[in-house]
Amino acid sequence: MALLEGKDLSKFFGALAAVDQVDFQIEAGEVLGLIGPNGAGKTTLVNLVTGVYPLTRGELYFEGRRIDGLKPAVIARMGIARTFQIVKPFPGMTVRENVVVGALFGKGGAQRNIKTAFEEADRWIEFVHLQDYRNDSVDRINISFRKRMDLAKALAMGPTLLMLDEVMAGLNTKDIEEMMALVRRINRELKITLLVIEHVMKAVMGLCQRIIVLHHGRKIADATPQEIVQDERVIEAYLGERYAKARQRSA
Amino acid sequence: MKNKKQLLIAVLIGLGFVVLPLLIEGYWIRVISSIFMYGVVTGALNIIAGFAGYAAFGNVVFFGIGAYSTAMLMLRVGFPWWGGCVIGAILAAFFAVVVGFPVLRLRGHYFAIATLGINRAVEQIALDWGSFTGGGKGITLPLPQMEIQSFYAMIYFILFGLLLLTLLTNFVIARGRLGYALRAIRDDEDAAEASGIFAPSCKVIAWAISAFITGLAGGVFAYWFSFIEPATVFDIMIAVKAFVMMMLGGAGTVMGPVLGAFLLELISETVWGQFLTIHMLILGTIVIGVVIFIPRGMLHLFRQRFSLSALIRNIKNQSI
């Protein structure tokens, strides 16, 4: 049984099909990549899974239980955590307080005790190497730190499935390396299943065992990274029809 | 170490207020009592508006409900004043839960406007249901059977006790799970829900607590003034003043709202008592001044040691 399964997922905004009849599965323990051009429906898919938007059509199952129609907080407490493409920190709080929110609520309603929740938060702050900044106000740390804080907050929730929405975006090469190392540890040491949305191809190729490609809301490919880079439809979606045709002619 | 010192100062200030009635005259006892009352109303507002960031301008409706419930229960059922206050506060909290579930789905200005509408609606009921509430003429409560001086001293201590209760409630909320949930909701409600916070119930609980305390204050007010009318106890200016006090002291902090209440009420008694006609002008100037110079309140400014650079930084941040 897949950890997360989407059947015939569709989401329409008016006449626009943001996600269109997508079937997909995430197996427990894997790192699944989700790529596609801007506006392909990647973040919408995450918003469907987390219950932010109701489905127009389709069914969602997590650990065999149907989750579509549930409230975001209920889904979060079942063990699905996410980070945000545009990070959404709690600006009135310190780094530590941000992370403690994840520990206080999170999976199963998590910690009811403030003290143990703070200990938990400190563990995750160290995990993402932010211990020197834990008492800083969020608006005083840079984007790379905010992304890591968002990650620590999601980890403090104790999720089974973690969806990372462009955690590499806006980072420099060195920060990307560090973030990739973190993501690997999350999957291998913490045994957390990951869905990774990413535009940084080096990261997607290096991290994912399998990749799903969305284009205009439809799933156009679902294969290993090696197969994906060879796929004509994917190349066409990413690099344009003309480039793909030119490539076909020369081949 | 620092906490011990703060606690000592707090205890000393508290003791100061306990012995104060021995030293001051009737007028000042009433002024300080009124400061306490505003401290309670502002501290209650802080729970929903300061922590959760929901601008409940109509919070005064709970004050009115508390006041009218106390009046009705004393007059029509023969309850003692405190019984009326407690039942009134429970009714206010219940009302907050009933209207809270639909209304707290609104965000930002829409919520603020909706609460204003609710306040007007309840005020209208009090006005039109004259046979029961006394309508626009108002209603006189049974007078206390004691000497006026000791009555005012009693009110002073009741309100002081309520203020301590309000502070304690704010303190417990700020340190607990609910406080973190509310602040997360204030900062980013979507991210809060994604973290597993049941935003609707947290907001309703916060509003009910806020309503309960505001209702208590309204009940004591009715007993204290022994005459109430809809225009007084549903007066939106009570909520507006509470907002100014909360922002002046520091929204979302434990001590800030009470500090703001003290500052503004003292200013109001000593300064604009002399300028009755431009009273609103002064209030307006204070609002603008707070927003520009100390958007995070006096308490935040104290923490930055009142430095000039902190003030300048606040002004600079405005233009961004």
pLDDT tens for residues B236-275?
A: 999 999 999 999 999 999 999 999 999 988 888 777 667 7
d(CA A87, CA A165): 9
Q: Are B192 and A153 in contact (CB under 8 A)?
A: no
CA atoms within 13 A on the CB side of B198: 14
Tokens, residue B111: 């919520």
pLDDT tens for residues A136-174?
A: 988 888 888 999 999 999 999 999 999 999 988 888 899
Instruction: Determine the distance in angstroms separating the CA of A94 from the nearest CA of chain B, rounded to an integer.
Output: 12
Residue B1, helix vs strand vs coil: coil
Query: Is the Cβ of A84 closer than 8 Å to some Cβ of chain B?
Result: yes
The CATH number of the domain where A66 resides is what?
3.40.50.300
Query: Is the Cβ of A151 closer than 8 Å to some Cβ of chain B?
Result: no
Q: Are A37 and A17 in contact (CB under 8 A)?
A: no
B192–A90 CB contact, under 8 Å: yes
Residue percentage of chain B with pLDDT more than 70: 94
Most confident of A163-172, B200-209, B274-283: B200-209
At A27 the pLDDT is 94
pLDDT score of B42 more than 70: yes
B196–A89 CB contact, under 8 Å: no
d(CA B59, CA B61): 5
Angle (CA) B222-B227-B231 rounded to 5° is 85
Torsion of CA B169, B171, B189, B288, to 10 degrees: 100
- Return the minimum-mean-pLDDT range out of B111-120, B188-197, B229-238, B280-289: B280-289
A101–B252 CB contact, under 8 Å: no
Chains A and B: how many Cβ contacts under 8 Å?
76
At A213 the pLDDT is 92
Query: Is the Cβ of A72 closer than 8 Å to some Cβ of chain B?
Result: yes
**Strand pairing of A4-13 and A57-62?**
antiparallel
Q: Are A219 and A22 in contact (CB under 8 A)?
A: yes
User: Where does A10-142 have alpha helices with state H?
Assistant: 42-49, 72-78, 95-104, 114-127
At B320 the pLDDT is 45
B196–A92 CB contact, under 8 Å: no
pLDDT score of A196 more than 70: yes
Task: Specify if A177 maps to a domain.
Answer: yes
- Name every residue whose Cβ is closer than 8 Å to that of residue B190 and which is 6 or more positions away in sequence: A52, A72, A88
pLDDT score of A251 more than 70: no
Mean pLDDT along residues B105-110:
90
Mean pLDDT along residues B151-166:
95
Q: Tell me which DSSP letter residue A172 carries.
A: -
Residues of chain B positioned with their CB less than 8 A from the CB of A93: 183-184, 187
Q: Are A148 and A129 in contact (CB under 8 A)?
A: yes
A113: alpha, beta or left? (left if phi > 0; alpha if psi -120 to 50): beta
| One domain for residues A64 and A11 | yes
Query: Is the Cβ of A100 closer than 8 Å to some Cβ of chain B?
Result: yes
At A103 the pLDDT is 92
Residues of chain A positioned with their CB less than 8 A from the CB of B252: 92
Question: Which residue ranges make up each domain of chain B?
Answer: 33-235
Task: Specify if A237 maps to a domain.
Answer: no
How many domains is chain A built from? 2
| One domain for residues A98 and A129 | yes
Q: For residue A83, what pLDDT band results from cuts at 50, 70 and 90? A: very high
Best of B186, B195, B203 to substitute, by most chain A Cβ atoms within 10 angstroms, is: B195
Task: Specify if A174 maps to a domain.
Answer: yes
At B215 the pLDDT is 97
AA letter at A124: W
A92–B198 CB contact, under 8 Å: no
In whole angstroms, how large is the CA radius of gyration of chain A? Answer: 18
Residue with the bigger pLDDT between B47 and B307: it is: B47
Residues 187-246 of A with CB under 8 A from B: none
Range of the domain at A20: 1-79+160-226
Question: Helices B177-187 and B148-175, interaxial angle, to 10°?
Answer: 80
Residues of chain A positioned with their CB less than 8 A from the CB of B105: none
pLDDT score of A86 more than 90: no
Instruction: Determine the distance in angstroms separating the CA of A178 from the nearest CA of chain B, rounded to an integer.
Output: 24
- Name every residue whose Cβ is closer than 8 Å to that of residue B46 and which is 6 or more positions away in sequence: B170, B246, B251, B252, B253, B256, B257
Exposure string over B200-232, b if 16+ CB within 10 A, otherwise e? bebbbbbbbbbbbbbbbbbbbbbbbebebbbeb
d(CA B200, CA B206): 10
Residues of chain B positioned with their CB less than 8 A from the CB of A88: 188, 190-191, 194
User: Residue A187's closest CA among A152, A166, A168, A160?
Assistant: A160
Task: Specify if A55 maps to a domain.
Answer: yes
pLDDT tens for residues B160-181?
A: 999 999 999 999 999 999 999 9
| One domain for residues A171 and A74 | yes
Task: Specify if A61 maps to a domain.
Answer: yes
At B27 the pLDDT is 86
Residues of chain B positioned with their CB less than 8 A from the CB of A104: 177, 180-181
d(CA A8, CA B57): 46
d(CA A61, CA A11): 16
At A106 the pLDDT is 86
Q: If you average pLDDT over every residue of chain A, what do you get? A: 89
Residue A24, beta-bridge partner list: A6
Q: For residue B318, what pLDDT band results from cuts at 50, 70 and 90? A: low
Residue percentage of chain A with pLDDT more than 90: 61
Chain A residue whose CA is closest to B193? A73
d(CA A132, CA B191): 24
Residue A221, beta-bridge partner list: A213
pLDDT score of B66 more than 90: yes
Q: Are A194 and A32 in contact (CB under 8 A)?
A: yes
The overall longest dimension of chain B from CA atoms, in Å, is 60
pLDDT tens for residues A49-58?
A: 999 999 999 9
φ, ψ (nearest 5 deg) of residue B249: -80, -40
Residue B143, helix vs strand vs coil: coil
d(CA A148, CA A154): 10
| One domain for residues A121 and A152 | yes
Q: If you average pLDDT over every residue of chain B, what do you get? A: 89
Residues of chain B positioned with their CB less than 8 A from the CB of A102: 195-196
A92–B186 CB contact, under 8 Å: yes
Q: Are A95 and A125 in contact (CB under 8 A)?
A: yes
Q: Are B103 and B118 in contact (CB under 8 A)?
A: yes
Task: Specify if A240 maps to a domain.
Answer: no
d(CA A193, CA A80): 10
pLDDT score of B235 more than 60: yes
Domain C-terminal end among A108, A126, A158:
A158
A104–B180 CB contact, under 8 Å: yes
Q: Tell me which DSSP letter residue A94 carries.
A: B
Q: Are A218 and A205 in contact (CB under 8 A)?
A: no
pLDDT score of B197 more than 90: yes
AA letter at A245: K
Instruction: Determine the distance in angstroms separating the CA of A67 from the nearest CA of chain B, rounded to an integer.
Output: 14
| One domain for residues A57 and A172 | yes
Task: Count the neighbouring beta carbons within 10 Å of the beta carbon of residue A218.
Answer: 16
B191–A89 CB contact, under 8 Å: yes
- Residue A131's alpha-carbon distances to A128, A183, B37, in angstroms, are 8, 18, 44
Domain C-terminal end among A158, A173, A200:
A158
User: Residue B239's closest CA among B40, B6, B59?
Assistant: B59
Among chain B, residues having any CB pair with chain A shorter than 8 Å are 175-177, 180-181, 183-184, 186-188, 190-199, 252
At A76 the pLDDT is 94
User: Residue B211's closest CA among B91, B37, B114, B84?
Assistant: B91
Count H helices, E strands: chain B? 16, 2
pLDDT score of A25 more than 80: yes
Residues of chain B positioned with their CB less than 8 A from the CB of A140: none
Residue A215, helix vs strand vs coil: strand
pLDDT tens for residues A87-128?
A: 888 988 999 999 999 999 988 676 778 888 999 999 999 999
